[in-house]
Chain A
Amino acid sequence: MFDGIMLGLSTVLDFNNLMYVIAGCLVGTFIGMLPGLGPITAIALMIPITYSIGADSGMILMAGVYYGAIFGGSTSSILINAPGVAGTVASSFDGYPLAKQGHAGKALAIAAYSSFIGGTIGAILLMVAAPLLAKVSLSFQSPDYVVLMFLGLTAIAAFSNKGQFLKAMMMTVFGLMLATVGIDPSSGTDRFTFGQPDLLDGISFLLVAMATFALAEALVNVVKPEKKDAKNINDSDTPQIGSTKLSKAEVKEIAPVIGRSSILGFIVGVLPGAGATIASFMAYATERNLAPKGLKEKFGKGSLRGLAAPESANNAACTGSFVPLLTLGIPGSGTTAIMLGALIAYGIQPGPMLMQENPSVFWAVIVSMYFGNIVLLILNLPLIPYFAKVLAMPKSVLTVMILFFSLIGVYLVSFNTFDLFMMVGFAVVALILRLLSFPMAPLLLGFILGDMIERNFRRSMMISDGSLSFLWDRPLTLSIFIISILVLLFPLKDYLMQRREDKANA
């Protein structure tokens, strides 16, 4: 392994390759920052360039763009509530409230540190355990994904406290319903497409996220301007960005969160059927369940833990997704599928033999990840005050910009005007629901996870001949299943204890 690291170092320290790391991170961060444009667009843009440079440099560049885009993606989630990538949805749950409370600087700094540590821990794990983890990733079958995603769905609990339970559940169901639109994979028939060919491929995640989060938020600002905002307009020279510095107590609070979430994120990222999105939701749900009593309620309202967890998990998961890509030749996401195509185009065969046959590519990618993460941190930290200045813009300008960028973002991905109309329709519905204080996060959670749960569940049913026994046939499935049941029952215990106390006091 030491030889490998040296080989990787000598490749990466080449001046050109170092430039590619920096260029990749830079391009990735900026593209990722634009709401709507995620890693897949960023990497697709890079393909023509990568063909003209060598395999090592090309993969280094693409990897840099990939994690750079995930790094940058959180910025729009935090500042304007516009998660352009599914993996950063969970970052907006607490990141955006933090920014609204005037801690944008701190939120962005936490995101940067968490991403940095998540990425670095991921790179270390990738280095020491890639071949071993490749086997683990193949031990996961459809039933395991069902229960894993079920576990992710428990994150909804964060939005259901204080009498919001029914509303959160209704929004979840709404999200699940939206996920059913399109061709039903198991029977091949159309569902809820109303004869409209544009609905055949289903509703895109980006559209729903942009409409219900970014657009609806901007519209709420128009319909119901907050008093604090009115002051902001007059006083735009002193924007409410807040310091980027973290206090010692805060560092102490989030350090274990980042550590746990990085490892969890990496492991989930290794699974080809899961990836960064599930990783961030699971980290979020886990940390909420682990949080001490007083801090649990802060989740969803600007918790530092609630931001650090998904941010470290999604970056670690991105790194994790290189395990099945490099050691098995299996892409877990659209982004890694493009990278696989590029590898094949270089004549490099990913698989168990990659480490022997093309060690320079393997090690160069891993070593470049260390550098890339450092570059991203150096690049992002000083820029935070400037990014955050976005919030200092007068609301009348900012709102229009958000509307513009979210619509453009969706259009640039599909080039379909139907999507724009649908998006505006969703935004109006979301606006009404927002004004009636329905939470939007459960809708998006239900939408993202619902689709994956359904596909995996029905696949499991088909494989097990229509019997539910797949839930307990294999120890792996059963253990995750039991964990998620416990997680669900956990709040019940608190509730019962509370009641007993109340009774004792009465």
Chain B
Amino acid sequence: MKLFKSFKSVKTTIIAASLVLSSPLAIADTHFLIPGGPGGGWDTTARGIGEGLVKSGIEGNASFQNMSGGGGGRAIAYLIESGTKKGDILMVNSTPIVLRALSGRIPYSYRDLTPVASMVADYGAFVVRNDSPFKTWEDVIKSIKEDPSSIKVAGGSARGSMDHLVAAQAVKAAGIDGRRLRYIPYDAGGKAKAGLLSGEVNLLSTGLSEALEVANGGQARILAVTSGKPLPDYPEIPTLKSLGYDMEFVNWRGLFAAPNLPAEKLAQYTKKLRELQSTPEWEAVRARNGWLNLFQEKDEFIKSLEAQEAQLKVVMEELGFIRAAR
């Protein structure tokens, strides 16, 4: 019996291997295009959605294709070029598609695609070490106002990327010029956390899910989160809004299809994804990954994309990453 079990796990290995290496030509009901490599955030999102769809019986089969390069630009170009010719492709993406289009790094924007739906969300969070003298977000703001160089903000990505822009917006909501913020870039979220705990920086700007990884371990405290409303799972974390700062930021993850997607096809996708929301299989995937649901169908999704684009444009212009249009 036990032997059989381990045999089964070998079989699963083979299935998993073939899933990862499956080609776009494989016969599948839904094909997910992942703009980054295996193991990353986009990868887990696409595979999680696929798993939910298949396990709940909504979809017969799901296949996945990784295509990294150009900060996601290559996958977007592929989706636009191949259109609907290559069958049903859903590409996963998130806030960077808006950000990188604004900075001109990718020559496309979400407008060149058909936004299908947003699926999950993460929020910005601000973290300090447990023994930090800053007890609340107000303490941080007060300190920056007295001496802008007193706060060094760590983030897991380059200047001008999400962690930096979110922090800049947050201090701006308190009337501080975002350019005066001292942002210290790290190579990855994990290294930024190590930087915070080592004491070389005193504030960490990161996503809520990563923030919880250190905060739940008891070595750091989350001072504020950028969600619009207090989070049902973590009501004790104050939102910037609840503290009286008019700022909110959502890092959504959603799905896009080719630009010429027929309306009936879109309706099909939307129906399936809507159905997925209430299934226990999706709930399992969501809980396992610590995602927060943010299901928005096409029109609502486009509206929030537009809002985010406007919001990011302002802050990027202020920080000098893009030139203000006259």
Instruction: Give A contacts to B, CB under 8 Å.
Output: 15-16, 19-20, 23, 27, 40-41, 43-49, 51-53, 137-142, 183-188, 190, 197-198, 200-201, 272-273, 324, 328-332, 334, 336-338, 340-341, 344-345, 349-354, 412-416, 418-419, 455, 459, 462-463, 465
On chain A, the residues within 8 Å of B290 by CB distance are 344
**Which residues of B in the span 137-159 have a Cβ within 8 Å of any Cβ on A?**
149, 152, 157-159
Q: Which residues of A contact B116 (CB under 8 A)?
A: none
Kindly state whether residue B57 has any CB partner on chain A within 8 Å.
Answer: no
Identity of the chain B residue whose Cβ is nearest the Cβ of A412 in the assembled complex = B21
Residues of chain A with a CB closer than 8 A to B218's CB: 351-353
Q: Is B31 at the interface (CB under 8 A from chain A)?
A: no
Q: Known interface pairs A48-B19, A344-B290. Does A329 touch B6 (Cβ–Cβ under 8 Å)?
A: no
Does B12 sit within 8 A of A, measured CB to CB?
A: yes
CB-contact partner of A15 in B2, B198, B289, under 8 A? B2
B residues less than 8 Å from A337 (CB atoms): 39, 188-190
Sorted from nearest, which 9 A-B pairs have the closest CB atoms?
A351-B217, A197-B70, A188-B160, A188-B159, A416-B69, A331-B190, A272-B194, A44-B38, A185-B158
Q: Is B277 an interface residue (CB 8 A)?
A: no
Can you list 23 contacts pairing A with B, beta carbon distance less than 8 Å? A19-B2, A45-B13, A45-B16, A45-B17, A138-B194, A141-B198, A141-B199, A185-B187, A186-B158, A188-B160, A188-B164, A197-B105, A201-B71, A272-B191, A324-B194, A329-B193, A330-B193, A344-B213, A413-B37, A415-B37, A419-B69, A455-B186, A462-B182
Q: With the chains together, A273 CA to B19 CA distance in Å?
A: 33
- Kindly state the separation between the CA atoms of A421 and B96 in the bound complex, as whole angstroms: 27
Cα–Cα distance between A273 and B105 once the two chains are bound (Å): 28
Residue on A nearest B38 in the bound complex, by CB: A44
User: Once bound together, how far apart are the Cα atoms of A53 and B197, in whole Å?
Assistant: 33
- The dominant DSSP class at the A interface is helix
12 extra interface residue pairs, beta carbon distance < 8 Å, beyond A416-B69, A416-B74: A23-B9, A47-B39, A52-B12, A138-B194, A186-B159, A188-B160, A197-B70, A198-B74, A329-B193, A415-B68, A416-B68, A418-B74
* Chain B 62-92 per-residue mask, 1 if CB under 8 angstroms from chain A, else 0: 0001111111011000000000000000000
Given A45-B20, A198-B74, A459-B184, answer yes or no on A353-B39 (Cβ-Cβ < 8 Å).
no
Q: Within 8 Å CB of B37, what residues of A?
A: 413-415
- Complex Cα distance A183/B99, Å? 14
Could you say which of A19, A44, A187, A198 contacts B159, with CB atoms under 8 Å apart?
Answer: A187
The listed residue with most B CB atoms (<10 A of its CB), out of A27, A187, A273, A354, is A273
Interface set of B (CB-CB < 8 Å, partner A): 2, 5-6, 9-10, 12-13, 16-17, 19-21, 37-39, 43-44, 47, 65-71, 73-74, 105-107, 149, 152, 157-161, 164, 182, 184-191, 193-195, 197-201, 213-214, 216-219, 288-290, 321
A306 to nearest B CB, angstroms? 29
Chain A hits for B189, CB < 8 A: 337
The answer on a CB contact under 8 Å between B105 and A190 is: yes
Q: How far is the CA of A198 from the CA of B107 in the complex (A)?
A: 12
Give the distance in Å from the alpha carbon of A184 to the alpha carbon of B17 in the complex: 35
Q: With A52-B12, A185-B158, A201-B69 in contact, is A349–B216 under 8 Å at CB?
A: yes
Q: Which residues of A contact B191 (CB under 8 A)?
A: 272-273, 332
Chain B proximity of A424: nearest CB distance (Å)? 16
Determine the distance from Cα of A15 to Cα of B182 in the docked complex, in whole angstroms: 54
Given A188-B161, A200-B105, A272-B190: A350 touches B217 (CB 8 Å cut-off): yes
**Nearest neighbor of A141 in chain B, beta-carbon distance:** B200
Residues of A within 8 A of B201 (CB): 463
Q: Are A330 and B20 in contact (CB under 8 A)?
A: no
Given contacts A40-B39, A48-B19, A413-B37, contact A332 B190 (CB under 8 A): yes
Q: Is the CB of A328 within 8 A of B216?
A: no
Chain A CB within 10 A, most for which of B9, B73, B105: B9
The smallest C-beta distance from B239 to any residue of chain A, in angstroms, reads: 23
| Closest A residue by C-beta to B47 | A48
Chain A residue numbers with a CB within 8 Å of B188 are: 331, 334, 337
